[in-house]
Amino acid sequence: MRTARTRLRTGAAAAGVTTLVAAAVIAAPLSGSATAASAHAAPQTKAVPAVAGHQLVSGVSSPLPTEQCQAKWKIACYTPIQYRQAYHLNPLYKSGVTGKGRTIVIVDSFGSPTVQHDLDVYSKQFGMKSAQVQVKKWGHVPEFDPKNSDMTGWAGETTLDVEMAHAVAPDARIVLVETAVAETEGVTGLPEMMSAEKSLIDHGVGDVITQSFGATENTFPGFDKGDFSSIGKLRYAFKDAAEHGVTVLASSGDGGATDSTADGKGYYKKRVNSWPSSDPLVTSIGGTQLHLDAKGDRTAPESVYNDNGAGGGGQSHVFGRPAFQNGEKAAVGTRRGTPDVSMAAAVNGGAWVYSSYDPTAVGWDVSGGTSEASPLFSGVVALADQAAGHRVGNINDALYTLSHHTSSGIVDVNDGTNNSYQGVTGYTAADGYDMATGVGTVDASRFVPALARASHRG
């Protein structure tokens, strides 16, 4: 059995650890096969995976029960079986709502050469049937190098995304888009990813897209002058998704009310926000901390994720308050507020994930971050798509309407915990909407049918 190790955060690596993105503006022209992006050219921001520093336990030969995790590493660790119980997914499965006939699209750089094998091992361990992962390469994706830290970081993100989506929607089809985000290829970041997403949408691939990446709004060119066109030029994929009824999700980040500076070496000393999470065309997924027993029953209500990072949230400095948040003026003011809704993200209460892309650390990890929460919620959306019999599309209007009805399955997180982080005062979980967890979290057994019904009315 491998000895579990704690990964410490130091230097530049810290930015990738506790924040969704370390953003770096790069002048290299876009190339590769991302022809659509060139038509919408924008200064490029290099996206970095969130999961890199959210693995406190790595390379374990087999997953341990929650009590043993607490005794050995002083953290709780959970299986998909516990998640299914906690979020009341089992009644849906018994009624035949498993995500069958629906497709989850996951967008990551580089991907993982072992993603199918790892999902098979993960599924078998917990008595679940596996799923076929369809991999689509976008651009000149280089051969995977396990000694390349960028590639292994993204491979960890890819593995987490795929396994969490499958844990919630076991019969949903998974399409993994691997983009060629490599400086040596002359392509980086968000334009490449947006181009890939638009292509899939135009070809009818996918009902829900989950994005575990982003960049601090302040790092985009022109921001300091009030010129937000560099972000505006990247929104074409989301506009396309809205027209085609595709749901788009994004992790809200792991820096609480702040986020990474452009050089990736530190944090803003003020409240900032992250795109694409801040985009009103996107549903922003924040983070909570689950408190569960061995069966997955709750021992306490969910609280705000704030341990080895904190759930991203706050006011956008780019987007004004959208109509769907008009009822939340007291919380968001005149700006777009994030997140919209939250799911499990705390490392103390993280998910067991299996990976073998790194031959020196094959085994089980405990991972967290909002890059866990977004794929979890993508599974919930896939279930709602199946229950509705069609795509539910952009869910933001429905989400805020349902939040005012106790029978809708939206569960308020209001215990007074907060997402303050890196010395920047964050937001407190209070009654109703707040910028710590959004409208709260979900009881899927009630939320999925409620969302399906709301989509029919819409």
Q: What is the CATH number of the domain that holds 221?
A: 3.40.50.200
Asked if residue 2 is part of any domain, the answer here is no
CB contact set of 130 (below 8 Å; sequence gap of 6+): 119, 120, 122, 123, 124, 166
**Between 27 and 453, whose confidence is greater?**
453
- The whole-number average pLDDT for the span 407-411 is 97
Average pLDDT, the chain: 87
Asked if residue 152 is part of any domain, the answer here is yes
Give per-residue burial for 227-265: e unless 16+ CB within 10 Å, then b: ebebbebbbbbbebbeeebbbbbbbbbbbbbbbbbbebe
Banded model confidence at residue 262, pLDDT cuts 50, 70, 90: confident
pTM, to two decimals: 0.89
User: How does DSSP assign 288-349, residue by residue?
Assistant: EE--B-TTS-BSS--EE-EESEE---EEEEEEEPPGGGGGGHHHHTTEEEE-SEEEE--STT
437 pLDDT higher than 70:
yes
pLDDT, tens digit, 9 for 90 and up, residues 302-314: 999 999 899 999 9
Asked if residue 3 is part of any domain, the answer here is no
Among 41-45, 54-58, 359-363, which stretch is predicted with the lowest mean pLDDT? 41-45
**Between 63 and 44, whose confidence is greater?**
63
Q: Are 100 and 170 spatial neighbours (Cβ–Cβ below 8 Å)?
A: no
Q: What is residue 8's predicted lDDT score, i.e. its pLDDT?
A: 27
Residue type at 338 in one-letter notation: T
DSSP 226: T
Asked if residue 4 is part of any domain, the answer here is no
**Gap between the Cα atoms of 444 and 379, Å rounded:** 10
Torsion of Cα atoms, 364 then 21 then 215 then 118, to 10°: -20
406 pLDDT higher than 50:
yes
Asked if residue 254 is part of any domain, the answer here is yes
pLDDT, tens digit, 9 for 90 and up, residues 288-307: 999 999 999 999 999 999 99
Q: Which uninterrupted H or E stretch holds 178?
A: strand 173-179
10 pLDDT higher than 80:
no
Asked if residue 7 is part of any domain, the answer here is no
Banded model confidence at residue 329, pLDDT cuts 50, 70, 90: very high
**Gap between the Cα atoms of 309 and 42, Å rounded:** 30
59 pLDDT higher than 50:
yes
Torsion of Cα atoms, 132 then 199 then 104 then 110, to 10°: 60
CB contact set of 277 (below 8 Å; sequence gap of 6+): 20, 214, 250, 251, 252, 253, 284, 285, 312, 338, 339
Q: What is residue 160's predicted lDDT score, i.e. its pLDDT?
A: 97
> What's the total number of domains in the chain?
1
Banded model confidence at residue 458, pLDDT cuts 50, 70, 90: low
Nearest to 262 by CA among 44, 426, 110, 109: 44
Q: What is residue 308's predicted lDDT score, i.e. its pLDDT?
A: 86
Asked if residue 1 is part of any domain, the answer here is no
Q: What is residue 9's predicted lDDT score, i.e. its pLDDT?
A: 29
**Between 79 and 264, whose confidence is greater?**
79
Judged by DSSP in three states, 64 sits in coil
187 pLDDT higher than 60:
no
**Gap between the Cα atoms of 325 and 279, Å rounded:** 13
- Residue in the structure block whose two tokens are 């400086």: 183
Q: What is residue 47's predicted lDDT score, i.e. its pLDDT?
A: 59
Among 240-244, 260-264, 397-401, 418-422, which stretch is predicted with the lowest mean pLDDT? 260-264
Q: What is residue 16's predicted lDDT score, i.e. its pLDDT?
A: 32
Banded model confidence at residue 55, pLDDT cuts 50, 70, 90: low
Banded model confidence at residue 263, pLDDT cuts 50, 70, 90: confident
Domain that holds residue 100: 13-457
**Gap between the Cα atoms of 440 and 432, Å rounded:** 8
C-beta atoms surrounding 135 within 10 Å: 17
CB contact set of 232 (below 8 Å; sequence gap of 6+): none
279 pLDDT higher than 70:
yes
Asked if residue 6 is part of any domain, the answer here is no
